[in-house]
Amino acid sequence: MIRQLIILFYILIGALTPSISVALVIGSDQEEIYIDANFSGEELLVFGAFYSDPSQSRDSKSDILIEVVGPPEDVALRKKDSYFGFWLNSKSVTFRDVPGFYYLSSTSELSDEFLANNQIGLLEKKKSEMIDWSLLTTDWGSIINEKEKEEFYSALIRTKQEDSLYRKVFDEIEIIDGNLFRSYIDIPNTVPVGEYTVNLHLIIDNEISQEYSYNFIVTRVGIEEAIYSFSKNYPFFYGLISLIIAIIIGWSGAEIFKRFKRI
Amino acid sequence: MSIYLPIAELSVNIFLLLSLGGIVGFLSGMFGLGGGFLMTPLLIFIGIPTNVAVATSANQIVASSISGTLGHWRQGLVDLKMGGVLLVGAFFGSILGVWIFSRLVAIGQIDTVISILYFALLTGIGLSMLIESSKVIRDRIRRKSVKRKIHYHNWAHRLPFKVRFYKSKLYISVIPPIIIGFVIGVLSATMGIGGAFILIPAMIYFLGMPTSKVIGTSLFQIIFITALVTILHATTTFAVDAVLAFFLILSSVIGAQVGVLAANKLRGEEIRALLAIIVLGVATKIALDLLVEPNEIFNLSVIRLVF
């Protein structure tokens, strides 16, 4: 509620102050997403307001663009080939610092040219930095032709898309009253933990007029966090406790049943 | 309702897990099997990563084999000495198995190798069960009784380092049981199975153990192999999911007891034939996954850095 009031306040300031011709104001629902035992994905709410000067030409077109970038991770991409009728993993490429999650959303479909010029988007921005071809783990010699590199690159994007970890959409931002916007972004249950960045752009007549960024964190909490870090820090005792649980349940199951059978 | 699995790092429906554990437990109680050979592939089918499926199955088998051993133990049907000798081999076998497993994970071939091993195992199990049960059904129709040999004498009795196993009434070399234990240890660590399906016939035909002592003894030593495999996986591949294991153990222990009850009430051969068909169905699915050209020939895995 307070946030909504603040937004309203900014809109008024925007309207009243002649020096500010356009404004973009963000209110965000949450700074953290918690992964607990019940976590099955979440909807991230991004909302805010934008104001463009009414004295500008009525034909000018304004768009909102939302970009969510997840924490970087290293991934291995493997390609299957047919050997004697069996489909087995063959060539493999390691990609460094690939975003674990990527989401691009805008109020209308923006041209690739626009995205490239403004360094927005996965393909456009990260391509050269992201792929370190020198990290190829196998078959380095047989994979170096450009066509095959391109094939691996598009497969990376495609497999991430299939897991709903990479998405590009044009119809998920709701505009209310011409000045307020709201978008629910699906965060699937397979998202990596870490720091995420939300970048917002107000685009007027194919020019970025305002930008705004903020971070949020996806983190494990409660018993999930306790189990995960215990398994990494004290693997032997973790294994031992898993065993003890198995022994107790296995033993007591048999004992309880034995009594049950006597009755 | 779903639950997030901290090690597998995904959420699954809790009722799906409980019914999976319950069904596998039921079948294992009914047929006196460990059930690992069905648990691991079914976990993989529902989307659990292969390494987590294998390591967590081993943990689950500890519970089900303890439940199973207790009954045999009370009736004095466990040959401790034979179990101990088998374990010596199994100890080294499972260390080698976990090492092979982590190498396969590193080079990205674990899924393929697990699929091929499971295809071979399930086809073998399914066919032998189908043949056996149909023979029994046929013999019953012809009103014949099945004759079985009780004791076998073969090459296993001619090797050195002979030891007396009083409980099994055997005087044989320790080399065959150690080798059998070693092989079971490797398979248990790489496939997440107890290995009773291979162990029991091996103990009967290679070692010539009396059938009455075989099940208890094999269950007894499976407790220790799978316990060791659980610890080895927890410390080297970090793939044991305690939350997943908890739900599987809970439901499979209950399912197993119901299965034991059902086994006393139902006629075995028909159900055994049905299980054989289920097992062959799972094997066929695995084979198709290997043979049919996949929709997506690329697969992605996140390389986790272990701190």
pLDDT over 90 at B303, yes or no: no
Residues in A touching B256 (Cβ below 8 Å): 253
A111 & A230 share domain? no
pLDDT for res A86? 83
Is the pLDDT assigned to residue A59 strictly greater than 80? no
pLDDT of A220-232, one tens digit each? 888 888 899 999 9
Q: Which chain B residue has the Cα nearest residue A34?
A: B4
The arithmetic mean of pLDDT across residues B262-282, rounded, is: 79
Range with the largest mean pLDDT of A249-263, B102-116, B129-143, B222-236:
B222-236
**Can you tell me the distance from the alpha carbon of B282 to that of B129, in angstroms, rounded to the nearest whole number?**
14
Q: Which of residues 93-152 of A touch B (CB under 8 A)?
A: 94, 100, 138, 152
Q: What pLDDT is attached to residue A137?
A: 41
Search chain B and give the residue with CA nearest A84: B291
Domain range for A157: 2-220
Does residue A36 sit in the same domain as residue A81? yes
Verify that A57 and A120 share a domain, yes or no. yes
CA distance B193 to chain A (A): 15
Q: Write out chain A residues lying below 8 Å of B10, CB-based.
A: 189-190
pLDDT at A125: 46
Is pLDDT above 80 for B253?
yes
What is the spatial distance between Cα B35 and Cα B102, in angstroms, rounded to a whole number? 24
Residue A246 with chain B: CB contacts under 8 Å: 59-60, 62-63, 66, 230, 245, 249
pLDDT per position as a tens digit, B11-43: 889 999 999 999 998 888 877 777 788 899 999
Q: Across A162-166, A187-191, B82-86, B208-212, which has the greatest mean pLDDT?
A: B82-86
CA angle A155, A157, A162 (to 5 degrees): 90
Q: Kindly tell me if the per-residue pLDDT of B202 is higher than 50.
A: yes
Ramachandran sector of residue B161 (left: φ over 0; alpha: ψ -120 to 50; beta: rest): left
Residue A135, pLDDT score: 43
Same domain, A203 and A240: no
Q: Where are the domains of chain B?
A: 10-291
Residue A143: pLDDT band by 50, 70, 90 thresholds? low
Q: How far is A165 from chain B (nearest CA, A)?
A: 12
What mean pLDDT is predicted for residues B223-227? 92
Spell out which residues of chain A touch residue B306, defining contact as CB-CB under 8 Å: 232
DSSP assigned state of B254: H
Which residue, A51, A57, A62, A55, is CA-closest to A204?
A62
Q: What is the pLDDT of residue B153?
A: 56
- Please indicate, yes or no, whether residues A66 and A192 belong to a single structural domain of this protein: yes
Interface test with A, best of B299, B304, B305, B306 (most A CBs within 10 A): B299
The highest-confidence range among A108-112, A233-237, B193-197, B206-210, by mean pLDDT, is: A233-237
The pLDDT of A55-69, averaged and rounded, is: 74
Query: Who among B59, B111, B291 is closest to A86 (CB)?
Result: B291
Residues A106 and A72 in one domain: yes
Tell if the CB–CB gap between A160 and B300 is shorter than 8 Å.
yes
Count of the separate structural domains present in chain A: 2
| Contact (CB, 8 A) for A158 and A141 | no
Per residue in A70-90, pLDDT tens? Answer: 888 888 888 888 888 888 887
pLDDT mean over B46-57: 91
Q: Which range among A10-24, A82-96, A122-136, B287-301 shows the weakest confidence by mean pLDDT?
A: A122-136
Q: Pick the residue from chain A with its C-alpha nearest to B225.
A: A243
Residue contacts between A and B (CB atoms, under 8 Å):
181
Same domain, A210 and A233: no
Of A31, A65, A26, A63, nearest to A48 (Cα)?
A26
Tell me if residue B265 falls in helix, strand or coil.
helix
Q: Cβ-count burial of B231 within 10 angstroms (0-12 exposed, 13-18 middle, 19+ buried)?
A: buried
Identify the weakest region by mean pLDDT among A9-18, A249-258, B116-125. Answer: A9-18
Among residues A116, A101, A104, the alpha carbon closest in space to that of A67 is found at: A104
Higher pLDDT, A123 or A176: A176
ipTM of the complex: 0.84
Cα–Cα distance for residue pair A231/B244, rounded to 1 Å: 14
Q: Which of A243, A247, A260 to mutate to test the interface with B (most CBs of B within 10 A)?
A: A243
Name the A residues in 55-94 with CB < 8 Å from any B CB. Answer: 73-82, 85-89, 92, 94
Residue among A74, A155, A242 minimizing CB distance to B240: A242
Indicate the pLDDT class of residue B171, thresholds 50, 70 and 90.
confident
The answer to whether B63 contacts A247, with C-beta atoms less than 8 Å apart, is yes
Inter-chain contact A242–B230, Cβ cutoff 8 Å? yes
The chain-wide mean pLDDT, for chain B, equals 84
**Distance between CA B68 and CA B256 in Å, rounded?**
9
Residues A215 and A232 in one domain: no
Question: Using CB atoms, which residue from A75, A156, A220 is nearest to B302?
Answer: A75
Q: Which residues contact A159 (CB under 8 A, 6 or more apart)?
A: A77, B296, B298, B299, B300
- Higher-confidence residue of A234 and B290: namely A234
Task: Please report which confidence band the pLDDT of residue A132 belongs to, taking 50, 70 and 90 as the band edges.
Answer: very low
Strand order in the sheet with A207-220: A32-35, A207-220, A194-204, A62-69, A102-106, A166-169
Q: Which residue has the tokens 């959409």?
A: A169
Residues A209 and A162 in one domain: yes
CB contact under 8 A, B293 and A85: no
CATH number at residue A140: 2.60.40.3880
Residues A182 and A199 in one domain: yes
Residues A127 and A204 occupy one common structural domain: yes
